[in-house]
Amino acid sequence: ADLIKLAMIKIDESFKKERFKSRLLLQIHDELIFEVYKPELEKVKSIIKEIMEHSLEISVPIKVNLKTGNNWAELN
């Protein structure tokens, strides 16, 4: 729980710093759902992956899987 909350804060700060139009919409258990402005997609994916995998110093590696789609239904 700490990891996801810390990551959400860091992602929000990063998006504000970059002045992205993209935004976090929803957290569901261990998933984060974003609305991403298409020109920002690759940079947003990179930021999310980096922050999620390195927000906490723990002894086991964290692997993040990212999916993209036009709507939530396409991702499931």
Q: Domain tally for the chain?
A: 1
By three-state DSSP, how is residue 63 classified? coil
**pLDDT the model gives residue 49:** 97
Phi, psi (rounded to 5 degrees) for 40: -95, -5
CATH code, 48:
3.30.70.370
Give the residue from 48, 68, 67 showing the smallest Cα distance to 4. 48
Beta bridge pairs of residue 23: 35
pLDDT in tens, the chain (76 residues): 688 999 999 999 999 999 999 999 999 988 999 999 999 999 999 999 999 999 888 888 899 999 999 988 888 7
Beta strands in the chain (DSSP E): 23-28, 31-35
Instruction: Determine the structural domain holding residue 60 and report its residue range.
Output: 2-75
